[in-house]
Amino acid sequence: MSSMEHILHWGEGQSFSYDPQRTLYQNLMDRGVWTGDAPCGGKGTCGKCKVIVEGGNLPPLTERELRSLTPHERERGYRLACLLRTEGEVTLSLRRGEEGALIQQDHFSLEGGDPPLKALILTIPPASLEDQRDTLTALREEAARGGFDHLDFPFSLIAPLPCRTGEEALRLTLLILNGRVVAVKPAPAQGEPPLYGGVVDLGTTTVVLYLVDLNRGEVVDTVAAMNGQRARGGDVISRIEYAEQGEDNRREMGNIIGSQLARMADEIAIRQGFRADLFLICGNPSMIHLLAGLNPSGIARAPFAPLISETLFLKGGDLFLPGYEETPLILPACLSGYIGSDILAGVLFTGMESREEHTLLLDLGTNGELVLGNREGLLACSCAAGPAFEGANISAGMAGVAGAVSHVEWEGEEYSYKTIASEPAVGLCGTGIIDVMALLLEKGIVDETGRFLEEEELADLPEDLRARLVTDGNGDRAFLVAPHITFTQRDVREVQMARAAIAGAVTTLLRERGISLEDVSRVYLAGGFGFWLREVSAIRIGLIPGACAGRVEVVGNSSGKGGILMALDRHKLARAEELRREISYLELSCHRDYQNDYIMAMTFPEGGEIPLG
């Protein structure tokens, strides 16, 4: 037996001994320290768990690695962590940019005025022989005078209450949520007590936490990060499969995201000097189940029935938020197994449920969710678009962090690209993917069927573009977007399927609703693209119908913004609960027309010369 020491160095100063029988990815997961991508959950199929490996006794590259890693990556020592077993001392690091903070693109404040979390200042007079009421009774009676009758007062908040004395009046602030006292604090010397809400957009790929001043409606601070659960799979289904394997796995998933949210909230608290008094978390139903440690099995297979969808008033301790056990927490209503509180938040933010004219909400995240209609009624559906527009299935795809190519341009017969934060290019994020696809179609490098043309078919191609036609590691045709970053034939197919899923769903929804695109006055485009998405590129690839040109409004993170509205206004929160019953859900997986609409949408639209600059 070898006496060799197996030491793994990872991240900033983390070192531990590892099990050489397990892959490096498994070792990092066992420790709970893996922070990279692993969309396939470590099955060796996605090619995304790229790490730079130094040291160790390394086996030769596998077939899969040869296919996933570019020659440049191989040269630099990249390997796939989920396929690699080694021994000895080894140092691993992630691809640069993978761990970078997500760049936030939205700055805003919203109007509220009647938050569900109330602060009630009470003054309890000193006790006397004529007034021997106990503190709790006195509090209840004063609260009733302030309009809050029959408050539920949990025992955990009674024990720390001060006793009434004959000397001083007690001045306390009760924080009240949904008829229940959730915190008791000293009253401020003057004025209203500050109230802050931590509103979370819990996405499958990214998580954003906004700290909102609930008195003023201002977003005070924001923090964003990649969802830590992606280490257990990039898509919803892999994570559900993992959680289905037992209570321990469900607890682990809840812990991963709960601790991450607590860390994000701490980060803001340290920066601002105060903590959130309330959390309100919007997300798709799977993410909400996995946050709560609930069994998401029902969502994964027909008839796709979730365990919960009503509005829940909880506290951090009911979930897995360390350090926030007593902080009240709201999970707003979801609609179905695939339409969550994130989409209902988007409906509220856009106001489409109260408009006379028809509008369409298109939320492009890891899935595609759509809502169509007006105040007479709304129809929603979800389509399996996959995470291509979040970069997950794209060979050089990545999140919108520093170094991601966010735009490509063709202007004055010259090709150029831009990266986030002007860092050297390390991959392609959603807007970059859409821009590249649009350029390839517009210049005829890829035809409407999604086929890369042969070089001899491209006789008229400008030299600047011709020089970018390359071959990928599989011998397939590809386009060199930036040094060492290619967009391949396989990537084109991924985009083609994703946009067909969405375009097909738009067609099916319109038919069900009995209206045409001309009747749609506005298309709200939501998702992580923020305001960087170019309408012209989205139309060129057929993600948005050409007939809607000029009527597209990029609304950014409508889930987060709608969540903020609910935290600022209890009527909006209640409205989300009503929408749960009012919006009709169209199940596309068994819809008679959808399959056909999807196939019809597989062909990219034909274009004219459009300015992509």
Residues that bind ligand FES (CB under 6 A): 38-40, 42, 44-49, 80, 82
Residues 395/488, Cβ–Cβ less than 8 Å: yes
Q: Which two tokens stand for residue 383?
A: 């389509």
CB of 46 to ligand FES, least distance (A): 4
Question: Is residue 425 classed as helix, strand or coil in its secondary structure?
Answer: coil
Which residue, among 171, 169, 198, 204, has the nearest Cα to 186 in the 3D structure?
171
Closer residue to ligand FES, CB minimum distance, 82 or 434: 82
Element housing 263 (H / E) = helix 247-272
CB of 15 to ligand FES, least distance (A): 22
> From the centroid of its chain, how far is CA 366?
8
Closer residue to ligand FES, CB minimum distance, 80 or 438: 80
Closer residue to ligand FES, CB minimum distance, 353 or 472: 472
CB of 500 to ligand FES, least distance (A): 24
Closer residue to ligand FES, CB minimum distance, 62 or 521: 62
Residues forming beta bridges with residue 313, ordered by sequence position: 330
Q: What angle do CA 191, 193, 194 make, to 5 degrees?
A: 120
CB of 324 to ligand FES, least distance (A): 31
Q: What's 279-342 look like in SS3?
A: EEEEECHHHHHHHCCCCCHHHHCCCCCCCCCCCEEEEHHHCCCCCCCCCEEEECCCCCCCCCHH
Closer residue to ligand FES, CB minimum distance, 36 or 100: 36
Q: Classify strands 170-177 and 117-124 as parallel, antiparallel or unpaired.
A: antiparallel
Residue that the structure tokens 């695109």 belong to: 517
Q: What's 337-384 look like in SS3?
A: CCCCHHHHHHHHHHCHHHCCCEEEEEEECCCEEEEEEECCEEEEEEEC
Closer residue to ligand FES, CB minimum distance, 24 or 510: 24
Contacts of 303 (CB under 8 A, 6+ apart): none
Contacts of 363 (CB under 8 A, 6+ apart): 342, 343, 346, 369, 370, 526, 527, 558, 559
Closer residue to ligand FES, CB minimum distance, 64 or 511: 64
Q: How many helices (H) and strands (E) does the chain have?
A: 17, 26
Closer residue to ligand FES, CB minimum distance, 28 or 465: 28
What is the rounded distance in angstroms from the CA atom of residue 544 to the CA atom of residue 605?
10
For 128-158, give the DSSP string. -SS----HHHHHHHHHHHTT--S-B--HHHH
Q: What angle do CA 497, 98, 208 make, to 5 degrees?
A: 80
Closer residue to ligand FES, CB minimum distance, 23 or 359: 23
CB of 36 to ligand FES, least distance (A): 8
What is the rounded distance in angstroms from the CA atom of residue 567 to the CA atom of residue 113?
10
Closer residue to ligand FES, CB minimum distance, 40 or 552: 40
Closer residue to ligand FES, CB minimum distance, 28 or 319: 28
Closer residue to ligand FES, CB minimum distance, 61 or 103: 61
Which residue, among 495, 485, 443, has the nearest Cα to 466 in the 3D structure?
443
Closer residue to ligand FES, CB minimum distance, 70 or 603: 70
Question: Is residue 53 classed as helix, strand or coil in its secondary structure?
Answer: strand
CB of 25 to ligand FES, least distance (A): 6
> In the chain, how long is the greatest CA-to-CA distance?
102
Residues 39/236, Cβ–Cβ less than 8 Å: no
Residues 320/254, Cβ–Cβ less than 8 Å: yes
Residues 543/549, Cβ–Cβ less than 8 Å: no
